[in-house]
Amino acid sequence: MNRRDNMNRKDAHVHNAEMQYQTAATDFESVRFVHPSLSHQAFHHIDLSTTLFKQQFDRPFYINAMTGGSAWTKRINGMFAEVARECHLPMASGSVSAALKDASVTDSFTIIREVNPNGFVMANVGADKNLEDAKRAVDLLDADALQIHLNTAQEIVMPEGDRDFRKLEDHIVDIVENLDRPVMVKEVGFGMSYQTMHHLQSLGVNTIDVSGTGGTNFANIENARRENKEFSYMADWGQSTVISLLEAQPLMSQTTIVASGGIKNPLQMMKALALGASAVGMSGQFLHSVLSEGVDATIEMVKSYDEQLRLLMMVLDCQDLDELRNTDLMITGKPAEWSRLRRIN
């Protein structure tokens, strides 16, 4: 039995996610900006602010949901919270389910608030959790908002995964209607279709993170935990972040769409924002950075992202994110073919 067999599930997720960092192909290569040559912008006049949950944020990116539930992940959440505090970044916890079941791991989540008492924090639960659980998750972190994750593709590959999805929709409706915090429904890296997002919209969901393929891959992460690795054929399951954002286009006037999945640098962030995302969540990139470089270097990385985003806005002649959304894009390859063949109605 190796070290990984002994690991708790949350530690194995972190370990396996970090092992596969940088291995996935994204569709961002198929999205190109049309370079405009003449610009009218000045660095200090660039406005990167965005609105999420009817609240304004200075930067359009945040630390997306990851972890909690063990001693190791407590340390990791502490590091994320320090970065979030120093950089004024919103941050999501990992799924709080573990703490709802086992009070002894609560501190691996509450460390987020201890380290960052005034920051914008999102609690996270699966849609298998009901309103009562959602309230407990929010209370635990004194959270400003709640993320509900949809992870059916992960659950089916997970040996001990959920085998009954009949309650997911009822839980979402109940939580959206009755929780006194704004709610974001998110995928965990398999992307969303127009039909899924349209349906969520009809249930009253106002904010959706498409979280597509191209980055952390939970089919591979869970398959690696299976003795016989039967589900390697699921490695390519789902829609990329780029394709999910294309699917979301008809919904963007009414629903706030957020992008995550495989976003690791400012150019990819810019492409997601140009495709209409209101903000960008990053998990794998922040995990890799705190584990391999530490907190101080991650804070420097965020500052550098901020500078790079402003510089890229300058070369694209865009003063703010509204202008970026109207800039010229060339979409080729698989996403272009997908859009051509797909009937969205």
- Contact positions vs ligand FNR (CB under 6 A): 13-14, 17, 64-67, 94-95, 124, 147, 149, 186, 188-189, 211, 215-216, 260-263, 282-285, 287
Q: How many CB atoms lie within 10 A of CB 13?
A: 25
Q: Are 211 and 248 in contact (CB under 8 A)?
A: no
Both structure tokens of 295: 């907190």
Please report how close the Cβ of residue 127 comes to ligand FNR at its closest, in angstroms: 10
Distance CA 325, CA 5 (A): 46
Please report how close the Cβ of residue 316 comes to ligand FNR at its closest, in angstroms: 23
The continuous run of DSSP H or E covering 145 comes out as strand 145-149
Helix, strand or coil, per DSSP, at residue 9: helix
Q: Which is nearer to ligand FNR, 8 or 41 (CB)?
A: 8
Q: Which is nearer to ligand FNR, 264 or 318 (CB)?
A: 264
Both structure tokens of 28: 């961002």
Q: Which is nearer to ligand FNR, 171 or 316 (CB)?
A: 171
Q: Which is nearer to ligand FNR, 50 or 217 (CB)?
A: 217
Please report how close the Cβ of residue 63 comes to ligand FNR at its closest, in angstroms: 9
Q: Which is nearer to ligand FNR, 125 or 318 (CB)?
A: 125
Q: How many CB atoms lie within 10 A of CB 224?
A: 18
Q: Which is nearer to ligand FNR, 95 or 316 (CB)?
A: 95
Q: Which is nearer to ligand FNR, 147 or 244 (CB)?
A: 147
In the bound complex, which residue of the shown chain has the CB atom lying closest to ligand FNR?
A: 215
Please report how close the Cβ of residue 345 comes to ligand FNR at its closest, in angstroms: 28
Please report how close the Cβ of residue 340 comes to ligand FNR at its closest, in angstroms: 26
- Let me know how many helices (H) and strands (E) the chain has, helices first: 16, 12
- Name the amino acid, one letter, at 332: T
Please report how close the Cβ of residue 338 comes to ligand FNR at its closest, in angstroms: 19
SS3 content of the chain, % helix, strand, coil (to 5): 50, 15, 35
| Residues forming a β-bridge with 73 | none
Q: How many CB atoms lie within 10 A of CB 38?
A: 5
Number of C-alpha atoms within 13 angstroms, CB side, residue 139? 9
Distance CA 96, CA 122 (A): 11
Please report how close the Cβ of residue 56 comes to ligand FNR at its closest, in angstroms: 23
